Structure 1
Amino acid sequence: MDTPRPYRSVLYIPGSKERALEKARTLPVDAIIFDLEDAVTPDAKVEARSTLAAALTEGGYGERAKIVRINALDTEWGIEDAKAVAKMEADAVLLPKVNNALDVQALADIVGDMPIWAMMESCHGIWNAMEIAAHPQVKGFVAGTNDLAKELNCRTRADRLPMMTSLQTMLLAARAHGVVAVDGVYNQFKDDEGLKAECEQGRDLGFDGKTLIHPAQVDVTNAAFSPSEAEIDLARRQIEAFEAVEASGQGVAVVDGKIVENLHVETAKKILAMASAIASL
């Protein structure tokens, strides 16, 4: 089994702010989205490219995944952003406003074989999620829940019921094609209880982690998307019981009154691998 890379906490950082770029080197996040789009004002967008490139060249971000979000290709900055990111010390480029696989290919034509992540934030994008995930360079999905809510004209609810079809459609496509899927942001960055509830919902749905707008959200999010001690203990006992039955060639494996099948063992091994990867960070 390949060693997984955790994506529990994925923090947006403005690509134009040197202090923020410096602070990001010290934060216990799994990944950073260095933003050239929404977090950068129009008059600072051109200079932000060189500011970010210098920070990434300097390094110091450790094992954190480094993802750069560019402006959409149909804006006045997008194409030059893409050309610049292709030369940066980044792990992936994040494309906003992805509507279909043709949008992904347009970026691939500029950045070469660089891994591509897609913002899933439009009705067209959600509807075409399967073809987007199937593109060979797409390695990650990021839910753009604020933009999506605007397009859907839905109300904001704590249970996110109006958004559930979109989130699950995105997850189905991601899982079908082995793509990382990261949940959208929680806007009330001082509301830890609300954040925790939304993180737990996202984890229950199957997301790998959550995008964040503030460092204060990191600890709650990391905890929510990490395997719990109870999950780790159960995973170990399931593997042990299944292997014992296999070795004896008799009966069926049972743990806590429940039958353990091969599919449960596969899930258990994934849990232990993720716990090990998190511990090594």
Structure 2
Amino acid sequence: MSHFAIGGLQLELDTSDNLVKISDSIELTMRRFPWLNMLVVSELAVDGSNTAHAKSFPSAHEQHFCQLAKRLGVWLIPGTQFEKQGQKIFNTATVINSEGEVVTRYRKVFPFYPYEKDVSSGSEIIVFDVPQGRIGIAICYDLWFGEMARSMVQQGAEVIIYPTMTPTTDRNLELHMAIATAATNQCYVLSLNGAGKQGNGNSIAVGPEGQVIHQAQECEQVIPFEVDFKAVRRSRERGLMGLGQPLKSFRDNGIQFNSDSQVQRQTGALSELGPLTIPKK
């Protein structure tokens, strides 16, 4: 079998204390769609965006979701949580398998600076395996940096999941980015946003040829869909719509991009930009 079914839970959430609501929604979704293999929840879903809720890992919430995953027999990405390690705080997503085991954790590489000024940047690109294929995990603002998706794909990712919390007017741009990311990397993309007080919804699932599988509106909604890993591999081998083969072209081209160099980023044209601060009047 090459199919793996994912359900995105776009939930109307309060600013904090959402553990019961999320847990109940996971259970209800599995009763309605027992064929799902994985459920995904939005960024900072349980406790919201206040870093005062940061906890050391493994946290009590993480352990709760491990028990829930094992009982229901489903993979879970239960949003993200602020993780406290020493003096640093990270925005961390946990991936839990259907046995209730933590498979991996991903720390957001691109916090939404300058607004998330108290959050440290992660330093690792994370992919993980399910029985049918390989999945990459990133968070919200990471979508804005094409290098993130391409790095996951170079490590074999065939699906990329972005738990997201966007309540702002740039959500429409993120929808276009999700489609472009799927097409240029010939992979599935799920950008799963919160709703209610934690976001303006409009989650999107995109196929490996840039086709929109589903785009939600602003209300609470479950987005169940099947990933076909063979379709990803066929697109990458034969070309998107039988046309462009961007991953092969990227592999075979000898150019070295200056952006790969930290020195170039700090001393090139980007060094002429001002500091990364909140705009003033």
Whichever structure has more helix as a proportion of its residues is 1
For the superposition of Structure 1 and Structure 2, which TM-score range results when normalised by the shorter chain?
Answer: 0.3 to 0.5
Q: TM-score, normalised by structure 2?
A: 0.46
Bigger-Rg structure (1/2): 1
Report which structure shows greater RCO (CA 8 Å, sep ≥6).
2
Q: TM-score, normalised by structure 1?
A: 0.46
